[in-house]
Amino acid sequence: MNIKLKIWRQQSAAAKGKFVEYQLNDVPAEASFLEMLDILNEQLVLKGEDPVTFDHDCREGICGACGLYINGHPHGRFKNTTTCQLHMRKFKDGDTITVEPWRSEVFPIIKDLMVDRSALDKLIQAGGYISVHTGGVPDANAIPINKHDADLAMDAAACIGCGACVAACKNGSAMLFVGAKVSQFALLPQGQVEWADRVQKMVARMDELGFGSCSNTYACQAECPKGISVTNIARMNRQFLAAKIVEPLEK
């Protein structure tokens, strides 16, 4: 198939960016979206031009590295699909495809379609873990966990940290990302010891880093490639309110 691409090009964080159009012919329908970009880049390199920079790694939808705004949707318009799992057979011959980087103030552009998502790591550092040290822990079967809760914890833990939820949100909120991590531990007995500190620290860190507030549009859930539910946001809000009453963090 032949397609026209409109790609956001920007040399560096400080440079001014713009859309550049490329005509790409004979794209195989079986190729993935990123393989299509590989084909474009190979042509650009041979012409002596700078290829399009984008983040990608595992190309099986699990590492969370890739993430492009495709025709106005993070990871494209298909449900539960990361950019790397999107295939060209989903497009038509003659289509024009617009490709942009994640749009959010907290994710500054590094180059072209590649952004800096280190703010997500800083959110986890605020408390997105159970503070056990290596060794000296009880036997794995010492504490039985209700299968239903364990399954819900797994559903929350399936987040790949791609940042689509933040990019999709008109407020640039990270509530789904943080809600998923808080929920994973809220649902497990191992997470109970630090629950009040965890939720308050992670919420405070969101504010410090400049993520926006949640106004319940659920755009995050609609665009999440792993189908993380907004129920996790509700669970976090409930924990946050309870923590404020029961064990407020000292200011």
- Span 121-140, contacts to other proteins by CB under 8 A: 121, 124-135, 137-140
- Count residues near other proteins (CB under 8 A): 77
Looking at the DSSP bridge assignments, the partners of residue 212 are 173
Region of 94-102, 143-151, 167-175, 240-248 interacting with other proteins (CB under 8 A): 143-151
Binding residues for other proteins restricted to 164-193, rule: CB under 8 A: 184-185, 188, 190-191
- CB of 89: closest distance to other proteins in angstroms? 7
Region of 17-25, 49-57, 215-223, 234-242 interacting with other proteins (CB under 8 A): 49-57
Phi and psi at residue 97, to the nearest 5°: -115, 125
Tokens, residue 184: 């994973």
Nearer to other proteins, 111 or 220 (CB): 111
Is 160 a binding residue for other proteins by CB under 8 A? The answer is yes
Measure the CA angle with vertex 62, ends 154 and 35; round to 5°: 160
Is 58 a binding residue for other proteins by CB under 8 A? The answer is yes
- CB of 126: closest distance to other proteins in angstroms? 7
Is 74 a binding residue for other proteins by CB under 8 A? The answer is no
Is 92 a binding residue for other proteins by CB under 8 A? The answer is no
89 CB contacts (<8 Å, ≥6 apart)?
29, 30
Residue pair 87/29 in contact by the 8 Å Cβ criterion: yes
- CB of 40: closest distance to other proteins in angstroms? 11
Residue of 172, 156, 214, 211 lying closest to 74 (CA atoms): 172
Q: Give me the torsion for CA of 62, 7, 104, 185, rounded to 10°.
A: -10
Binding residues for other proteins restricted to 215-244, rule: CB under 8 A: none
Among 6, 9, 22, 59, the residue binding other proteins under the rule CB under 8 A is: 59
Is 158 a binding residue for other proteins by CB under 8 A? The answer is yes
Query: DSSP class of residue 17?
Result: P
Cβ density class 17-28: b for 16+ within 10 Å, e for less: beeeeeebeebe
Region of 96-104, 151-159, 171-179, 241-249 interacting with other proteins (CB under 8 A): 151-159
- For tokens 């959110």, name the residue: 123
Among 9, 87, 103, 244, the residue binding other proteins under the rule CB under 8 A is: 87
Residue pair 152/187 in contact by the 8 Å Cβ criterion: yes
Nearer to other proteins, 69 or 102 (CB): 102
Q: d(Cα 24, Cα 48) in Å, to the nearest integer?
A: 17
